[in-house]
């Protein structure tokens, strides 16, 4: 064991820079630069004047940065009757409520599927697995029928209800809950803990990486969603920022290209920020999923 530890510390995984690591840098540094290029291009494009936006061949970095695209975007929103701050407020509130409700449903369902015994348990979980195969377009008609018949047209619930259950999030969290020893749950029950206390004190702390991944996936789905604003909302004051900004990109006018570039950055940055904040937890989920 001592020999293995020394071998790992000195050769396999040296604590300081070693010549043996050069081969990894030769591969990883170019790969990292290649993967970050799209992010750099999206951000630089938002600050390009029209002349650079339509330059050929296109450039990665902006030469003469300008804030005109953002000024035009905010000016346009002030002439539509609904300020962009209203769309932003709607998106923030809808995202918060959806993520919170989704976490509650996901952790509760994962605990029930993993540690409880009840009829149709396998069938219900198989339905969740089948739901992974369906894209949003395939269920748009059933969603519309549900929203209309429940009277949720032109309400925030029309945005929230279709996204509060994420099959992939439930699958990830359940895999983590499966790894929690049953003896730990039984000990908590013997101490008088109810299901709510078990979820709060045992399940949530031990499944934080999977929950963080579920939060990231849910937030991205909600923040970028335009289906509800297109299909369920006719009142402009109830629509989201993603719908408003995406409507700019559908405009073929040359002048709208700069505003569409600025809109892309505004939509992209929250996703980037929340991923950076939860990056370590998400990476733990990926690493844990490969350990059996």
Alpha carbons 170 and 151: distance in angstroms, whole number: 28
Domains belonging to the chain, first-starting first, are 81-289 (1.10.3720.10)
Cα 165 to its chain centre, rounded Å, is 14
Q: Is the pLDDT of residue 4 over 70?
A: no
Region of poorest pLDDT, from 47-51, 163-167, 277-281, 284-288: 284-288
Q: Is the pLDDT of residue 144 over 90?
A: no
pLDDT band for position 107 (cuts 50, 70, 90): very high
Q: Is the pLDDT of residue 2 over 50?
A: no
**Does the pTM exceed 0.85?**
no
Alpha carbons 15 and 12: distance in angstroms, whole number: 10
The predicted pLDDT at position 93 comes to: 92
Q: Is the pLDDT of residue 45 over 90?
A: no
Alpha carbons 179 and 289: distance in angstroms, whole number: 11
The predicted pLDDT at position 12 comes to: 60
pLDDT band for position 75 (cuts 50, 70, 90): confident
């Amino acid at each position: 064991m001592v020999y293995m530890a020394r071998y790992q510390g000195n050769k396999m995984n040296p604590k300081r820079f070693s010549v043996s690591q050069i081969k990894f840098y030769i591969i990883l540094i170019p790969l990292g630069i290649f993967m970050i290029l799209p992010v750099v291009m999206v951000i630089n494009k938002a600050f390009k004047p029209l002349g650079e936006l339509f330059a050929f061949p296109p450039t990665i970095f902006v030469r003469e940065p300008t804030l005109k695209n953002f000024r035009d975007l905010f000016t346009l929103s002030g002439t539509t009757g609904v300020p962009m701050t209203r769309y932003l407020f709607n998106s923030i509130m809808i995202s918060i409520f959806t993520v919170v409700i989704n976490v509650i449903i996901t952790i509760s369902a994962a605990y029930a599927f993993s540690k409880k015994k009840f009829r149709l348990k396998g069938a219900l979980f198989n339905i969740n697995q089948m739901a992974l195969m369906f894209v949003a377009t395939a269920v748009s008609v059933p969603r519309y029928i549900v929203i209309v018949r429940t009277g949720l047209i032109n309400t925030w619930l029309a945005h929230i209800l279709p996204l509060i259950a994420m099959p992939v999030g439930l699958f990830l969290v359940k895999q983590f809950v499966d790894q929690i020893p049953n003896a730990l749950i039984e000990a908590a029950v013997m101490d008088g803990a109810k299901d709510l206390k078990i979820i709060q004190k045992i399940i949530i702390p031990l499944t934080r990486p999977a929950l963080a991944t579920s939060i990231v996936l849910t937030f991205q789905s909600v923040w970028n969603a335009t289906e509800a604003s297109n299909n369920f909302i006719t009142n402009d004051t109830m629509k989201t920022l993603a719908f408003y900004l995406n409507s700019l990109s559908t405009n073929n006018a040359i002048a709208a290209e700069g505003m569409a570039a600025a809109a892309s950055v505004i939509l992209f940055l929250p996703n980037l920020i929340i991923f950076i904040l939860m990056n370590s937890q998400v990476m733990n989920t990926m690493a844990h999923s490969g350990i059996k």
